Amino acid sequence: MLLFRGNDWLKSLSSEEKQKVTDQWMAWFRRLTDEGKAIAGNPLEREGKIVSGKNRVVSDGPFAESKEAIGGYFLLDVASFDDAVAIAQQCPGLPYGVKVEVRPVAAECPVASELKHEAQLANA
């Protein structure tokens, strides 16, 4: 999975540059979809809410102007992690400061695999 980080880089661009990056980004996603390498992807609205704690408190966030905020994602279907990194390196937003986080999708929930591992240790 690719997570696109950074929401503040757009501000410095002219409208022509923005249009150019948008077109490049759309063409990139279409190409990956046609090649069967991208199976889902969405931009996210810039603002949302955070739910946390035992009392399930709802607060504002993430802040739109954050370098770390996630602006969108692609779910890829590739044979190796290196393939995913190579695709991330094609991201049209990179020259403008976008960071792309590349994360393997887990075959099973890490909490469940941790538990299995503990059980194995206990039985050993």
Partner 1 sequence: MLLYRTDEWYNKLSQEELQKLINQNKAWFEKLTAQGKAVPGRALERKGVTVSGENGRFVTDGPFAESKEAVGGYLVLDVETIEEAIAIAQSSPGLAYGGSIEVRPVAEECPLDIRARELAREEQLVTI
Write out the residues near partner 1 by the rule CB under 8 A: 1, 3, 5, 10, 14-15, 18-19, 21-22, 25-26, 40, 42-46, 48-54, 56, 58, 61-62, 68, 70-73, 85, 88-91, 94-95, 97-106, 108-112, 114-115, 118-119, 122
In the complex with partner 1, which residue's Cβ is closer, 36 or 64?
A: 64
What whole-number distance in Å separates Cα of residue 70 and Cα of residue 91? 15
Burial class of residue 120, CB neighbours in 10 A (0-12, 13-18, 19+): exposed
| Closest CB 83 distance from partner 1, rounded Å | 13
Query: Strands 99-102 and 70-76, how do they pair?
Result: unpaired
| Closest CB 48 distance from partner 1, rounded Å | 4
User: Which residues have CB under 8 Å from 45's CB, separation 6+?
Assistant: none
| Closest CB 34 distance from partner 1, rounded Å | 18
| Closest CB 57 distance from partner 1, rounded Å | 9
